[in-house]
Structure formats: C-alpha cells, structure tokens
Structure 1
Amino acid sequence: MELVKILTIFTTIDVMRNKFEGKITEYIGNLVALRHFNLSHNDLTGSIPSLIGKMSVLEALDPSFNHLEGEIPQQLSSIYTLARLNLSHNQLSGHIPQGPQFSTFDNDSYIGNTRLCGNPLSRKCENDIGTPDQEEDENDNSFSGFTWEALVIGYSCGVVPTFSTGYLMLSAGKPKWLAQIIAWEQGLKIRRIEIQRQN
C-alpha cells in the first residue's frame, strides 16, 4: 500500500513486523508531532537519518532488529523528551552520542551492535583510551599546579606580608581601637600573673 502523502500530525506510528525493506527516508523529520515510532523487526537498511532530530517531541524510538548501519546521529541527543530508545540488533558503529537523555539509556538499548563504543557500554572508543604512560603524564600535569613550590610562594605572598603589616600597625598604635583591645587583654594577663605570684 502506497501512501501518497503522510499526515504530519501523526503522534504514533507502529509498523513493526511488516518485512519492510529499504532505507528510512529523510522526510521522516517532517513528522514533528510524532511521539512514538516503532520500526522494529523489519529488513530496513542504510543509516538513521540525522533529520530525525527535528522530531522534538519524540518520546519513544524503536528501530531494533533491522540492518541499520553507520553512526547514531548526534542530533538524537537534542531530543529532550526521548524517554525510550531501542537500537538493539542492528549493525551500528562508532561513538554513542552523549547528552542528557542518552545518559538515561542502559546497555539493553544497544545490544547486538558489536561496533558501537562509549558509555554506557564497557567497550571504550579508541580515542577515549590512552596508554598508561599518557594517563600518568596527564595526572602529573593536572597536579603540577599544586606543588610545594606553589604553596611556598602563596604562603610568602599572602601570610608573611599580612602578619608584618599587622605587627607594624599595632606597634604604631593604629588602629586605636584594636591597639586598645590588645593592650587591655595584655594588661589582664599581667594582672593575673601578679596575683598568682602574690598567692
């Protein structure tokens, strides 16, 4: 059955288990009111169209059990309403996009795609994996700003001048209120010592 024109006001399309073949058309992005889209268990090939990112209210996408290949479009990560994603049992490859919604999907969303890598899969992408020496160098570089030399310089530039200035100000009797408080406390200590000696 051929549809001459697909209504863009559809909110749900479920065409699972229909033996559909061919590629997913780019025009799918025009279905801007679509919330649930199930293409699973067909014989679809090609890649997932990047224009699917225009479906800004999409809540569930399931093209599992097909023969889709290529990378998962980064545009999918911009669909903030996407609550359910099942890309399992295809031939997808590359890095799994990162984004607020993608962090909520677990491994089950990607099972059967042996060439996918990145979170949440245990398989890391090549550009994410560094040699142990590189990781140690990065750790050393990240810590290099907090060496003992930096601490000494910070201490010298901050604490020493502050105490020196405070000592000079108190010696000169300024500010008067602070000098009077300190002199009063010192006077109390001297009196206590004298009382203790008399006893």
Structure 2
Amino acid sequence: MMDVKEIQTEIYNYEDLNFVAYMEMTITLKGQDQLLNRLLEAFTIIDLSSNKFSATIPHSIGDLNSLRYLNLSHNNFMGHIPASLGNISVLESLDLSSNKLDGGIPSELTRLTFLEKLNLSMNDLVGQIPQSNQFSTFDNDSYVGNLRLCGVPLTRKCNEENGQLIGPEEEDDEEEEYGFIDGFGWRSVVMGYGSGFIVGIGIGYIIIRNGRPSWLVEFFFGVGYNKKKKRLN
C-alpha cells in the first residue's frame, strides 16, 4: 500500500484491469455496506473496525500513500489523530469514530482533496474544525459527540484568539446540536406555547363572561346564547 501504481489517478480501460478470483465480500465503504463480487489486485483498504485495539494510531500509517479507505472505528484508540494521515493524498474515506481520540483535528487533513466521507464522531476532540477544501463539505454528523469541538458546521462558536470553545465546557451541548428548531431553543418554544395557552384561556373566559363579541359567542355556543343567559340570570 506504499506504492500501488496500478491504482494511481490515471484512467484505465475497465477490461484491462487485473482482478483476483471471483469472490463475494461485504465491505463498509464511505459509510455504507457494499457487496463486492470481485476485487482489484491492488484494492487498498484497511478495515479494523469493531475490535478492541488500543494505544495510539501509529504515525507510520501516513506512509501508506496508496490507501483509499481506512476504517478504525469502534475501538479504543487513544491519543491524537496522526497528522501524517494528510500524506495519503488518494484517501477517499476516513472513519475514526467511537474511539478515545483527543486533541485537535490536524490541519494537514485538509490536504486530502479526494476525501468524500469523514467520520470523527464519538471521541474527545477539541478546538476548531478546519474549514478549507473538503472539510467545508462535511456536515454535523461527522463530529457528533465531541463536546469541545467548535466552529462550522456545529453551532458552538470558537474564540477568535485561540480557536477554542467559547464558554464553559459543560455548556448544554445537546441543546446546541439537537434542540434548536429554526433558530429557537426548546425552552423558548415551551415558554411560547405556555404563555399563549394561558393568554388564550384568559381571553376565552372574558368572552364567555361578557358575551362579547356576540357573533363569536353565538358561533361557538349557538344562536340565542345571550338571550338564554339573561333568562337564566
């Protein structure tokens, strides 16, 4: 995987490509399970997901400059994301989710201009999310569960001076990521509905008590309601 020339970015005739023997294999590519009937001899993918691997991700992984897909999710990897991953220029999918990675997202990853799928969710990453190149195309799902990340596409803002999260670390993250509805928090929505309900009950009581406006009272309670009320009185 350090120098697989057969899969470099040149265009090949599909019939001229070399395949291994026919086989069926289900692989998670770019976040989706895909069934492959045959594989290229130079098929470059590492999928070590859902194991119990721990310690740090080795810096030497950046030497695999022909790697296309890397999935190390659902393990116990710790430490920082290796900046050397930015050397894998043809990388199309990177999934490091559900580990114990900390530190910031290396700016070197913005060099991965072929990257189509990124998943760094459910880690302990901190600081500002890079914005250039492919990183401007990834949505909130790529970063969910990292409570100290900030910047677009998250709603948490960064301090302009140091790029760190504004405010206390214990800020109500769930409200910021999931509780906003068209720009309003759920508390504001509940208060609005509650206030409207109380005001509505009050206005309804006044209308029924005074019988005004008569057309509205008769609409809800029937024609002649005011006359019946007078007879009862």
Q: TM-score, normalised by structure 1?
A: 0.60
Structure with more of its chain in helix, by fraction? 1
- Tell me what 2:137 maps to: 104
Shift in Å at residue 57 of structure 1? 0.2
Task: Classify the secondary structure of the residue corresponding to 2:133.
Answer: coil
- Tell me what 2:226 maps to: none
Query: Is 1:40 the counterpart of 2:36 in the alignment?
Result: no
Count of residue pairs brought into register by the alignment: 123
> Percent identity over the alignment?
54
- Tell me what 2:64 maps to: 31
- Tell me what 2:38 maps to: none
Q: For residues 145-160 of structure 1, what are the structure 2 equivalents within 5 Å? A: none
Task: Classify the secondary structure of the residue corresponding to 1:85.
Answer: strand
Paired amino acid for 1:25? P
In 2, Cα distance between equivalents of 1:11 and 1:76: 19
RMSD over aligned CA atoms reads 1.4
In 2, Cα distance between equivalents of 1:126 and 1:118: 9
Q: For residues 1-199 of structure 1, what are the structure 2 equivalents within 5 Å? A: 7-8=1-2, 9=4, 11-127=44-160
- Tell me what 1:176 maps to: none
Shift in Å at residue 38 of structure 1? 0.1
Q: Bigger shift: 56-65 or 8-17? A: 8-17
The structure having more radius of gyration, on CA atoms, is: 1
Unaligned runs of 5+ in 1: 1-6, 130-199
In 1, Cα distance between equivalents of 2:75 and 2:154: 25
Paired amino acid for 1:61? L
CA deviation vs aligned residue, 1:118-150 (integer Å, no higher than 9, x gap): 111110101179xxxxxxxxxxxxxxxxxxxxx
Structure 1 stretches of 4+ moved >4 Å: none
CA deviation vs aligned residue, 1:46-74 (integer Å, no higher than 9, x gap): 00011110000000000100000000000
Shift in Å at residue 18 of structure 1? 1.2
In 2, Cα distance between equivalents of 1:100 and 1:44: 27
In 2, Cα distance between equivalents of 1:75 and 1:98: 12
In 2, Cα distance between equivalents of 1:32 and 1:44: 21
Shift in Å at residue 116 of structure 1? 0.2
